[in-house]
């Protein structure tokens, strides 16, 4: 019996894809974010303290919300708010509330996503729905959304409240579109509509919120938003790359997780566009909900990704978006915050998890 193969059927093929496409990738995000964290530690401690001081109810709903928040995560969205605010007048109480709100909205979407995708693991632990149930997780998501909006409202920045509601609308529209597209190979335009709505919109809002709290002038604030949007798309494209070409032990979830859920990632979309025969075969695979992504399927997908250069080109897109994001920072006041935002943009496309 080959236990390793049977529990991780795709690992062999995919490690080869990874080796071919990105032989010397450094885990830049982790080390650079660690440096950043040191500088901005007090801000993030404030955010974590505020997250920990949410109303402590003892129902399964409260438990589900608390479980996810306590697991931590990268806190990238609060980091965006904090850095944008620090590029201006600083990280004050309003900025903290907005940073907390960004993380709460993100957490709400994770809680609902795990119910939708029947996700069992997140952040190295069982998901809230496994421990507290689907129902508690649904209500917990609703609750965190309401808590986020209350915090945004409490800052008095009504424009940010309006934009948060617009962002939620866009986010739900994207979730709905993704759901409608499940089991199909979407058009490139639909793929980017989902990414813009599900990921980029909240990064964009986080940067707008930080810029507003930090009293940046209009050109700098607009540049921050463009940065947020670009970094958000780059982040998602890299997530997609890691799903098909990452190291499962580093990424923390199994490879081809998206494909298993019937979702088409950007590298697969490229491979389908470039290889019609593979495209036709893959359409059949994703249309059949009962198909199990086994070694044979993983092997064929891995070969198509390699032969079409899809993974390399997906990385190239992420890099180009990251460079465009760096360009946005030119009109932002120079200083440590701007340097940190540069590092974040560069590190996001140079990560392994």
Query: Which residues contact a second copy by CB under 8 A?
Result: 57-62, 112, 115-116, 135-136, 138-139, 141-143, 145-147, 149-150, 153, 158, 161-162, 165-166, 168-169, 172-173, 175-177, 179-180
Q: How far is the CB of 110 from a second copy (least distance, A)?
A: 14
Q: Are residues 82 and 99 in contact, defined by beta-carbon separation less than 8 angstroms?
A: yes
Choose between 48 and 261: whose C-beta lies nearer to a second copy.
261
Q: How far is the CB of 154 from a second copy (least distance, A)?
A: 9
Structure tokens at 303: 């070969």
Choose between 162 and 330: whose C-beta lies nearer to a second copy.
162
d(CA 94, CA 287): 47
Choose between 5 and 158: whose C-beta lies nearer to a second copy.
158
- Beta strand spans in 242-305 (E): none
Measure Cα distances from 1 to 157, 263, 294 in Å: 62, 31, 16
First-to-last C-alpha distance (Å) of the chain: 31
Choose between 41 and 179: whose C-beta lies nearer to a second copy.
179
Q: How far is the CB of 222 from a second copy (least distance, A)?
A: 23
Choose between 102 and 318: whose C-beta lies nearer to a second copy.
102
Structure tokens at 187: 């058009």
Q: How far is the CB of 82 from a second copy (least distance, A)?
A: 25
* SS3 of residue 125 by DSSP: strand
DSSP summary character for residue 243 = H
Q: How far is the CB of 60 from a second copy (least distance, A)?
A: 6
Measure Cα distances from 67 to 119, 319, 340 in Å: 15, 34, 30
């Amino acid at each position: 019996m080959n236990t390793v193969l049977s529990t991780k059927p795709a690992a062999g093929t995919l490690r080869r894809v990874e080796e071919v496409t990105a032989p010397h990738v450094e885990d830049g995000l982790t080390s650079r974010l660690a440096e950043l964290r040191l500088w901005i530690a007090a801000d993030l401690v404030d955010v974590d303290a505020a997250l920990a001081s949410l109303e402590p109810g003892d129902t399964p709903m409260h438990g589900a919300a608390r479980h996810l928040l306590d697991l931590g995560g990268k806190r990238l969205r609060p980091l965006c708010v904090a850095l944008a605010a620090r590029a201006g007048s600083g990280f004050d109480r309003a900025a903290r509330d907005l940073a907390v709100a960004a993380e709460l909205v993100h957490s709400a979407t994770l809680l609902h996503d795990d119910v939708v995708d029947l996700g069992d693991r997140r952040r190295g632990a069982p998901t809230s729905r496994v421990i507290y149930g689907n129902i508690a997780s649904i209500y917990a998501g609703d609750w965190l959304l309401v808590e986020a909006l209350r915090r945004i409202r409490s800052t008095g920045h009504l424009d940010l409240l309006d934009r948060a509601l617009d962002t939620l609308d866009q986010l739900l529209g994207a979730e709905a579109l993704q759901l409608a597209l499940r089991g199909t190979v979407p058009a490139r335009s639909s793929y980017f509509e989902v990414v813009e709505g599900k990921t980029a919109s909240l990064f964009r809002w986080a940067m707008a919120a930080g810029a507003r709290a930090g009293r940046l002038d209009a050109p700098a604030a607009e540049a921050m938003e463009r940065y947020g949007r670009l970094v958000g798309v780059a982040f998602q494209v890299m997530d997609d790359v890691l799903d098909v070409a990452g190291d499962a032990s580093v990424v923390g979830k199994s490879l081809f997780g998206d494909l298993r859920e019937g979702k088409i990632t950007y590298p697969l979309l490229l491979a389908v566009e470039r290889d019609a025969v593979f495209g036709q075969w893959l359409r059949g695979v994703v249309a059949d909900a009962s198909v199990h992504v086994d070694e044979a399927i993983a092997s064929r997908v891995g070969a198509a990704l390699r032969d079409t250069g899809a993974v390399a080109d997906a990385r190239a897109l992420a890099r180009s978006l990251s460079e465009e994001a760096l360009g946005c920072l030119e009109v932002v006041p120079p200083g440590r915050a701007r340097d940190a935002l540069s590092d974040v943009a560069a590190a996001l496309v140079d990560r392994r998890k």
